[in-house]
Chain A
Amino acid sequence: MARAATTSDVFNAVAEPCRREIVQALAVRERSVGDLAQELELSQPVVSKHLAVLRAVDLVDSRTDGRHRIYRLVPSALLPMEEWLDGFRHLWRKRLERFDAVLVELRSESAEEGG
């Protein structure tokens, strides 16, 4: 099965580990290409290539600051991923809440027996 283009949506864009690192770095603060290259120990052309993919899915935008271009994260672009994970997270939250309720009941039973 052919894999979807990396720029088709935010899911494919962040499937690549380097791009996830860039997203994480930008989540802390906005940065220039040089800044990112140094932090992630990648070459500037490689960082630029990844940034182009992230920009194509609107996960990153940029502004110019003098001679530098500064990149920043657009967190709202991650919303579809959050929603996707939301159902699974909800399922496990509820499941482990019920698990906890069993534990609470066992504790009160043993307290009754002990007291």
Chain B
Amino acid sequence: MIMDAKVTLPSDTEIVITRTFDAPREVVFAVWTTPEYVRRWWTSPDAPLIVCEIDLRVGGRWRYVSRNAAGVELGWYGSYLEIDPPRRLVSTEGFEGGSGAEAITELVLTENDARTTMIITVRCPTREHRDDLISSGTEVGLNRSLRRIDALLQPTPTKEYS
């Protein structure tokens, strides 16, 4: 069982995220698709969602916009292609300010012994799109790297790497 999210790149255009939850899949599906809950997990509390719209119908649109303390807004949007609660949800996903190209995200939930395994497969139109998507996640990684660099620049008595 995977209780920590696992991220793999099975091909040049795909990203797969897997995690298991100690909950039935009806509840997992509801937490994925209900704005009240999505607001609590999509972004961290330092960049809360100021927009969280979900029109859960085939062809319906979804849109999330976060804003951090500095006023920086990030927006995600798309539409629903297939809805089969609580097993499967297929939607498109774009990034506001991005190229306009959209990835197709498939959420698959399987339940075993009251535990639900979530498999999110993101299929991108091109390798470049996939790489951009991963690099956008490095906003977080970048901040951590900058902190590491800051730490390295602090004059400390510890031994330096040569």
Which residues of A are interface residues toward B (Cβ below 8 A)?
A: 15, 83-104, 106-107
B40 contacts partner chain A, Cβ-Cβ < 8 Å: yes
B112 contacts partner chain A, Cβ-Cβ < 8 Å: no
Asked if A87 meets B144 with Cβ closer than 8 Å, knowing A103-B21, A103-B23, A103-B27, the reply is yes
Q: In the A-B complex, list the 4 residue pairs whose CB atoms are closest, starting with the nearest.
A: A87-B141, A88-B137, A87-B138, A98-B41
Q: Are B19 and A96 in contact (CB under 8 A)?
A: yes
Asked if A90 meets B41 with Cβ closer than 8 Å, knowing A99-B21, A103-B31, the reply is no
Cα(A103)–Cα(B40), bound, Å: 11
Which residues of B are interface residues toward A (Cβ below 8 A)?
A: 4-5, 7, 9, 12, 15, 17, 19, 21-23, 27-28, 31-32, 37, 40-44, 118, 127, 133-142, 144-145
Instruction: Give 7 A-B contacts (CB < 8 Å), ordered by A residue.
Output: A15-B12, A87-B142, A88-B141, A90-B140, A102-B31, A103-B27, A104-B22
B9: which A residues are within 8 A, CB to CB? Answer: 85
Asked if A87 meets B42 with Cβ closer than 8 Å, knowing A15-B127, A93-B4, the reply is no
Cα(A97)–Cα(B12), bound, Å: 27
Q: Are B7 and A92 in contact (CB under 8 A)?
A: yes
Q: Are B31 and A87 in contact (CB under 8 A)?
A: no
A99: which B residues are within 8 A, CB to CB? Answer: 21, 31-32, 41
Q: Are A86 and B141 in contact (CB under 8 A)?
A: yes
Cα(A96)–Cα(B28), bound, Å: 11
Whole-angstrom distance from the CB of A101 to the nearest CB of chain B?
A: 8
From B7, B22, B43, give the contact of A85 (CB < 8 A).
B7
A84: which B residues are within 8 A, CB to CB? Answer: 134-135, 138, 141
Asked if A102 meets B140 with Cβ closer than 8 Å, knowing A85-B134, A93-B4, the reply is no
Cα(A43)–Cα(B141), bound, Å: 41
Cα(A55)–Cα(B33), bound, Å: 47
Most buried by A among B23, B44, B127: B23
Q: Which residue of chain B has the shortest Cβ distance to A1 in the bound complex?
A: B128
